[in-house]
Structure 1
């Protein structure tokens, strides 16, 4: 074989090795922090105190919001897989010591020094302390902006939660954030999602196709070479390591996880997209089932604001739920719908259905009914907020006239709603 050919191969090897060695996670200026529906709320939220829409001669008279629960501990199934994956840490350190791993020295130190939090295995599915603070913070900021929340009695509020433990704990944290110890939660009779999606083999079709796509396989190969392990990582291994990455990321302190050093930014984008596909086809715009509208509380929103117009409404109605219902609400309202369905074959960077931004931990949609006095006549406007930022894609700049609002909600008049949020 010609000498020149050996030289080219040698140079290429050095170049590839240098590329993989040049990425140091620990001092990356802006670490990637978008993990689909496991994204920390603080990574994407706004601040209602800065972004509130104030219209001249208008007064807020009623607030209606739907809130996803705050961050939780892993579910039992994920916790088991994460616990097993922790053993890979020693293999990565050993690989580095043998010169086969391309992680930076400091990334290895951070991974080696990482301490196991026993609560992640002992408190499965419970509300995490960060989740409690997320919900408390949302409520306290709302109260700071809207004075009508400072004096609440049993007749002018409603707090509704599903029966899921972590959701009820989130609701309680929110109520604590309002600073009124006398607030009580409504009793619910049911919180079951009546759906055939689990029996529908089509909902995870695109997600499964993506896990054998060139995009995913390239990421899998990058991770394998980056870690330099003696055995081939399975997709389950990668998922468990990814779970350790997002779970051990501190959203409140904006502190990156040493487990995320196992991935490049492009790897994390690939894994994020798997979550987008899952939620798009399971409960979002790609869902085939037709009974979705029966599961969401939008009829109550219209009724609540109609009563408020007549002087009989509540100051605040807050519904607490899971990520699945948030997806259903977005799909039912036609929000965040791309011109073409998202698929395994085309991971668009500018897609509208981006669960990291629309459905992170503690995701929320808040509507505020305002009574306005223009030329001595009463008029009403509704402001829309997503995660404490105006939802500008609704009406004009997130401000709907009453006519526009009624038109948006009218399709839900005939749906069956028991005012629960499954």
Structure 2
């Protein structure tokens, strides 16, 4: 009888933990684990009378460590908050159960500032498995034998992008062969993979423009956000209401620590249920919508440089397989240039748009990726587009398998007028 009761408790507790992980982990914004988002079906993608011949793919780096600022926040704000939570429960003022308290008791931060934003083991694994699945889907475009003339690998001058590229090649070939892969030299100023970083006009008129963050600020001061801050504080057993900055830090670390390890929920997630996580998710989405998305034409106009690179590879005689390893800002601007995930109306801070297509948790989680595959068919050249390894239909195309000529006609003006120096010049 005792054994049966213990077994029932084990199943009940682990099932509820799974529900918590399931409910929250899909709403962690740009720190959402990729394992909750990718397409697990990896069989060869075939079309009658067609053959996959080329692939061009942009990959956001895999799961990484926090920024120096967030590591410092873990060492100070969250370390003190942990002790406050434990104290409140010792005097029987908190609602957390013994397992949750045990997780807080064990929680510590030993991250080194020098390793800020470094790729994690989970990030390495994400890249290896992503490469393996992609090769299975498109075995003609991605040969198992490495040839420097048919493969192109490029990454930004960051540890997380460089290591993501290297582990991706381990998945494509093997560890031994990957040691001989040639990568394009990473440059500090990269006008293809990180064009926005060096676009003076965008830096001034968008990134450093206070109006860019106006809607996020409005939502941060809303009644819904104030109620969320109260709820999070109460769920942790505190006798005060936490600040927005502290709750945002908790939300970020909840995402990081949950992404790093499978079947693990960071104790900092205990402050959130799905509804409260979605409020924080929208708060972050407002920032990315106005900073990296549809908020300003200049933001996504710059991404013409990536479209130019794509068509040069597909219409030229270069590499059959091109893999570019970059960042959240790169991917979001490209998605916007392609007119994907555009909300019916601009995102604003006066109300929460629950049905929006623009949701970073779905479109820009860790290891997010966008791939274009060129198919040579009996009646011409076609392009298949995949986002998060799922086939998607581009808005300017009638079908998922879209004629290359259709895409070229649609984007040729932006590509022919893609003078980054002119686009980014301050008047």
Q: CA contact under 8 A between 1:296 and 1:329: conserved in structure 2? A: no
In structure 1, C-alpha distance between the alignment counterparts of 2:351 and 2:137, rounded to whole Å: 42
Runs of 4+ residues deviating >6 angstroms: none
Q: Distance in 2 between matches of 1:295 and 1:124?
A: 31
Q: Is the 8 A contact 2:228 2:276 kept in 1?
A: yes
The corresponding residue for 2:9 is none
C-alpha separation in 2, matches of 1:295 and 1:216? 37
For residue 291 of structure 1, report the CA deviation from its aligned partner: 7.6
1:344 has 2:332 as partner: no
Show the 5 A alignment for 1:54-65. 54-65=46-57
Displacement of 1:414 after TM fit? 2.5
C-alpha distance after superposition, 1:256-307 (max 9, x if no partner): 2222112222111111111111110001001353684267411010121112
The aligned length equals: 385
Q: Distance in 2 between matches of 1:252 and 1:54?
A: 34
Structure 2, unaligned runs of 5 or more = 1-14, 191-196, 422-427
TM-score, normalised to structure 1, is 0.85
Structure 2 vs 1, CA of residues 263 and 25 (structure 1 numbering), >3 Å: closer, same or farther?
A: farther
Structure 2 distance, partners of 1:144, 1:321, is 23
Asked whether 1:259 is paired with 2:268, we answer yes
Query: Distance between the aligned counterparts of 2:405 and 2:146, measured in 1?
Result: 29
* 1:118 and 2:110 aligned: yes
Q: How far did residue 355 of structure 1 move?
A: 0.7
Secondary structure of 2:162 counterpart: helix
Q: Is the 8 A contact 1:48 1:142 kept in 2?
A: no
**Alignment counterpart, residue 319 of structure 1, candidates 324, 339, 350:** 324
Displacement of 1:65 in angstroms is 0.6
Secondary structure of the structure 1 residue equivalent to 2:19: coil
Structure 1 range deviating more: 394-403 or 80-89 = 394-403
Partner of 1:187: 185
The corresponding residue for 1:416 is 419
Cα 1:259/1:390, change in 2 over 3 Å: same
Q: What corresponds to 1:225 in structure 2? A: 234
Between structure 1 and structure 2, the one with the greater Rg is: 1
Change (3 A) 1:417 1:176: farther
Q: Secondary structure at 2:347's aligned position in 1?
A: coil
1:169-217 C-alpha deviation (Å, 9 max, x unpaired): 2111112221142221112442243132232111111111111011111
Contact 2:161 2:326 in 1 (8 A): yes
Q: Which residue of 2 aligns with 1:282?
A: 291
| Secondary structure of the structure 2 residue equivalent to 1:229 | coil
Cα RMSD, aligned residues only? 2.3
Gaps of 5+ in 1: 1-23
User: Which of residues 40, 44, 50 is equivalent to 1:47?
Assistant: 40
2:405 — aligned with what? 403
- Give the TM-score taking structure 2 as reference length: 0.84
What's the secondary structure of 1:204's corresponding residue? Answer: helix
